[in-house]
Amino acid sequence: MASTRGSRPDPEHQAVLANLYDLQARLRGDPASLVPPNRARLEGRPADPVDLLRAAEVRVVALQARLDQLEAELQSIARSLPPSGSGV
């Protein structure tokens, strides 16, 4: 049986939560944190700030691409709807 660590989630779970919170913030238009999940700590060694910055930049680009994809999908749906004044 796995040992419990109180209410603190596993580091892997914390990384998933951080990704979800950042995505939610971006979708709201708020700035997401630029601190990526600290995968280096998961491996037991300290994180290099330069590596953290690079990882953050990669995440921002990926999130921006996903946001662009969602906006295009929303525009496509909006174009497929009948005009609001058509009475349909």
At 61, phi and psi to the nearest 5? -65, -45
With tokens 């779970």, the residue in question is 13
Tell which wins on pLDDT, 85 or 18: 18
Render pLDDT for 34-78 as a digit per residue (tens, 0 to 9): 555 554 444 556 678 888 888 889 999 999 999 999 999 999 999
pTM above 0.75, yes or no: no
Q: Count of domains in the chain? A: 1
Residues of the domain holding 59? 48-77
62 is a domain residue? yes
Render pLDDT for 25-41 as a digit per residue (tens, 0 to 9): 777 777 666 555 554 44
56 is a domain residue? yes
Name the DSSP letter for residue 34.
S
36 is a domain residue? no
Q: What angle (nearest 5°) sits at the alpha carbon of residue 77, between those of residues 86 and 62?
A: 155
71 is a domain residue? yes
- Give the chain's mean pLDDT: 75
39 is a domain residue? no
70 is a domain residue? yes
16 is a domain residue? no
